[in-house]
Chains A and B, each alone.
Chain A
Amino acid sequence: MRTENTNVKLSNMYNMRKIKNHLASISLCFVLCAAGTNAQNGEALFKQNCGVCHKVGGGRMVGPDLMGVTTKRSEDWLLKWTKSSQALVKSGDADAKAILDEFGGVVMPDQAHLPDADIKSIFAFIASKSAPESVSASIDTAKKEVVPDASNNATPEQIETGKNIFVGSYALANGGPSCISCHNVNYSGVMPGGLLAKDLTSVYSRLGGDAGLQGILGAPPFPAMTQSYKEKPLTESEIAALVAFFNKVDKDKPNQLVNTTNPLSYGGVIGLGGILVLIYILWYSRKKVSVKKDIYNRQIKSI
Chain B
Amino acid sequence: MDVRSQVSMVFHLDKCIGCHTCSIACKNIWTDRKGAEYMWWNNVETKPGTGYPTKWENQDIYKGGWEKNGDTVSLKGAGKFKGLKNIFHNPHMPVLDDYYEPWTYKYQDLFTAPEGNDQPTATAVSLVTGEHMDVQSGPNWDDDMGGSIDYARQDVNLQKLSSAEQEAMFQLERMTFHYLPRICNHCLNPACVASCPSGALYKRGEDGIVLINQERCRAWRMCVTACPYKKSYYNWNTGKSEKCVLCYPRLESGQAPACFHSCVGRIRYLGVMLYDADKIEAAAAAPDDQLVNAQMDIYLDPFDPEVIKQAKLNGIADSTITAAQNSPVYKFVKVWKLALPLHPEFRTLPNLFYVPALLPTMATVADGVYNTTSKSLWNGVESNRLPMKYLASLFSAGNTGQVVDVMKRLMAVRLHRRGVTVGDLNAAEISSAMNEVNMDKETADAIFRLTALATFDERFVIPPAHREESIEMLENTADVKGNTGFGFKETPARGL
- The A-contacting residues of B in range 68-109, CB under 8 angstroms, are 85, 89, 91-92, 95, 97-98
Q: Is A20 an interface residue (CB 8 A)?
A: no
Say whether A295 contacts B54, CB under 8 Å.
yes
Q: Is B61 an interface residue (CB 8 A)?
A: yes
Q: Is A283 an interface residue (CB 8 A)?
A: yes
Q: Is A296 an interface residue (CB 8 A)?
A: yes
Interface stretch (choices A122-130, A199-207, A284-292): A284-292
A290 to B151, CA, bound (A): 15
A283 to B87, CA, bound (A): 12
Say whether A298 contacts B91, CB under 8 Å.
no
Interface size on A, residues (CB 8 A): 12
A250 to B54, CA, bound (A): 71
Task: List the 4 closest pairs (A to B, CB-CB), nearest first.
Answer: A286-B91, A290-B97, A295-B150, A291-B54
Can you add 13 more A-B contacts, CB < 8 Å, to A283-B91, A291-B54? A282-B85, A286-B92, A287-B62, A290-B54, A290-B97, A291-B53, A292-B54, A292-B136, A295-B54, A295-B147, A295-B150, A298-B149, A298-B150
* Candidates B85, B91, B151; contact of A287 at CB < 8 Å: B91
A162 to B392, CA, bound (A): 80
- The A-contacting residues of B in range 123-182, CB under 8 angstroms, are 136-137, 147, 149-151, 154
A9 to B241, CA, bound (A): 74
Interface size on B, residues (CB 8 A): 19
A291 to B156, CA, bound (A): 13
- Chain B contacts of A287 at CB under 8 A? 61-62, 91-92
Q: How far is the CB of B69 from chain A (nearest CB, A)?
A: 20
Q: How far is the CB of A136 from chain B (nearest CB, A)?
A: 71
- Among A283, A291, A293, the most chain B Cβ lie within 10 Å of the Cβ of A291
- Residue of A at shortest CB range from B93? A287
Q: Is B203 an interface residue (CB 8 A)?
A: no
Q: Is B261 an interface residue (CB 8 A)?
A: no
Q: How far is the CB of B52 from chain A (nearest CB, A)?
A: 11
Say whether B91 contacts A290, CB under 8 Å.
no
* Candidates A282, A286, A291, A296; contact of B136 at CB < 8 Å: A296
- Residue of A at shortest CB range from B55? A291
- Known interface pairs A286-B92, A287-B61; A299-B97 also in contact (CB < 8 Å): no
A295 to B137, CA, bound (A): 10
- Chain B contacts of A293 at CB under 8 A? 97
A296 to B147, CA, bound (A): 11
- Chain A contacts of B91 at CB under 8 A? 283, 286-287
Q: How far is the CB of B85 from chain A (nearest CB, A)?
A: 7
Say whether A292 contacts B151, CB under 8 Å.
no
- Residue of A at shortest CB range from B150? A295
- Chain A contacts of B136 at CB under 8 A? 292, 296
Mask, A259-303, CB within 8 Å of B = 1, is 000000000000000000000001100110011110110110000
- Residue of B at shortest CB range from A283? B91
A296 to B101, CA, bound (A): 13
A295 to B136, CA, bound (A): 10
- Residue of B at shortest CB range from A282? B85
- Residue of A at shortest CB range from B62? A287
Say whether B150 contacts A299, CB under 8 Å.
yes
A256 to B149, CA, bound (A): 74
- Residue of A at shortest CB range from B92? A287
A94 to B147, CA, bound (A): 80
Say whether B151 contacts A291, CB under 8 Å.
no
- Among A282, A283, A292, A299, the most chain B Cβ lie within 10 Å of the Cβ of A292
Say whether A292 contacts B92, CB under 8 Å.
no
Q: How far is the CB of A288 from chain B (nearest CB, A)?
A: 8
- Chain A contacts of B97 at CB under 8 A? 290, 292-293
Say whether B85 contacts A292, CB under 8 Å.
no
Say whether A290 contacts B98, CB under 8 Å.
yes
A293 to B136, CA, bound (A): 10
19 pairs from A and B in contact (CB 8 Å cutoff): A282-B85, A286-B92, A287-B61, A287-B62, A290-B98, A291-B53, A291-B54, A291-B55, A291-B61, A291-B98, A292-B98, A292-B136, A292-B137, A293-B97, A295-B54, A296-B136, A296-B137, A298-B149, A298-B150
Q: How far is the CB of A18 from chain B (nearest CB, A)?
A: 58
Mask, B454-486, CB within 8 Å of A = 1, is 000000000000000000000000000000000
Q: How far is the CB of B221 from chain A (nearest CB, A)?
A: 14
- Residue of B at shortest CB range from A294? B150
- Chain A contacts of B137 at CB under 8 A? 292, 295-296
A296 to B151, CA, bound (A): 11
* Candidates B53, B62, B98, B147; contact of A299 at CB < 8 Å: B147
- Chain B contacts of A296 at CB under 8 A? 136-137
- Chain B contacts of A286 at CB under 8 A? 91-92
- Residue of A at shortest CB range from B137? A292
- Chain B contacts of A290 at CB under 8 A? 54, 95, 97-98
- Chain A contacts of B151 at CB under 8 A? 295
A299 to B146, CA, bound (A): 13
Q: How far is the CB of B133 from chain A (nearest CB, A)?
A: 13
Q: How far is the CB of A296 from chain B (nearest CB, A)?
A: 5
- Residue of B at shortest CB range from A298? B150
- Chain A contacts of B62 at CB under 8 A? 287
- Residue of B at shortest CB range from A300? B136
- Residue of A at shortest CB range from B97? A290
A283 to B91, CA, bound (A): 8
Q: How far is the CB of B102 from chain A (nearest CB, A)?
A: 14
- Chain A contacts of B92 at CB under 8 A? 286-287
Q: How far is the CB of B201 from chain A (nearest CB, A)?
A: 23
Mask, A6-48, CB within 8 Å of B = 1, is 0000000000000000000000000000000000000000000
A295 to B147, CA, bound (A): 10
A62 to B95, CA, bound (A): 63
A295 to B148, CA, bound (A): 11
Q: How far is the CB of B40 from chain A (nearest CB, A)?
A: 16
A283 to B92, CA, bound (A): 10
- Chain A contacts of B149 at CB under 8 A? 298
- Residue of B at shortest CB range from A292? B54
- Chain A contacts of B85 at CB under 8 A? 282
